Amino acid sequence: MNSAARIEAFLEMMSAERGAAENTLSSYRRDLEDASAEIDGGLAAAADIRGYLDEIAARGFAATSQARKLSAIRQFFKFLYAEGLRGDDPTGTLDSPKKGRPLPKTMSEADTGRLIDRAAQEAADASLNDGDNLAALRLHALVEVLYATGLRVSELVGLPVTVALRDDRFFMVRGKGDKERMVPLSAKARMAMRAWLAARATVPAFADSPFLFPAASDSGYLSRQVFARDLKGLAARAGIASAKISPHVLRHAFASHLLQNGADLRAVQQLLGHADISTTQIYTHVLEERLVRLVNDHHPLAD
């Protein structure tokens, strides 16, 4: 690493030229002094810095902390190079520590069933003459279609009314990048859409709307925020912690439950509308769990 004087010069530059805040300067100081104490010699090489990063990783520092320390070291050596205090920048070839990708939040099949059953019960109790009951029929249709298709919430709320009018087992949806894909509709989802379509027809303001879920909004259809709020309320009434529920969680449940029950990862990629299989690979933990189950259940020596 380098002397305390050079660290002070770097910090002065960060303060005077870049207007770094006091907390930022303190953070740089801690990170650089820690690195300086660990890296021997004034002419640190890339291997020395990599060894230091490996050592702090072994000490249990999170990838985010490792990346922050490397950022401080990078800026420090760039400063030394720019000022002519070093003839090279040893950090140029170093890769940032990879951050672990968090697993998607999802729901168990049992909780998903409770949620949908609650929506179905509220819709069954609904009277078409009451606004609140209209909302119950709409929410049931939204939940059934979301779990049947795995649509993005923006794709779901903006569905054209023709999807319900055709009453087909499959329909085309236009997703990210203006790409179309085919998604399936379960029998229950089609029934829920038909019930909502009948209720929708009783509202004159909805008659000319091209959207399945029209609303008095700038877009002309139900907002994502309203659906998310209604979904959380439904979860609470079903005895499920509302903090754990969102439209995106139901989309993840769709994918996870398909994989748990034998679906192919590539097929799930197509259904979700992921352009790259690497995006779908966040679900590989589900495949791993399924493989363990298969071995434990069927291998003759598993016991």
Catalytic residues: 152, 176, 248, 251, 274, 283
Residue 74: count other Cβ atoms within 10 Å of its Cβ.
Answer: 17
Residue 141 CA to residue 282 CA, distance in Å, equals 28
Residue 45, CA distances (Å) to 48, 49, 196 in order: 5, 7, 67
Three-state DSSP class for residue 201: coil
Structural contact between residues 10 and 24, judged by C-beta atoms closer than 8 angstroms: no
Segments of 22-88 assigned E as strands? none
- The type of residue at 153 is V
Structural contact between residues 213 and 159, judged by C-beta atoms closer than 8 angstroms: yes
Three-state DSSP class for residue 25: helix
Closest by Cα among 97, 98, 103 to 284? 103
Structural contact between residues 69 and 34, judged by C-beta atoms closer than 8 angstroms: yes
Residue 216 CA to residue 59 CA, distance in Å, equals 56
Q: In sequence order, what are the residues at sequence separation of 6 or more whose Cβ sits closer than 8 angstroms to the Cβ of residue 225? A: none
Phi first, then psi, for residue 183 (nearest 5°) are: -130, 150
Residue 224 CA to residue 243 CA, distance in Å, equals 16
Tokens of 117: 């059953």
Phi first, then psi, for residue 214 (nearest 5°) are: -70, 155
- Residue in the block written with tokens 């998310």: 228
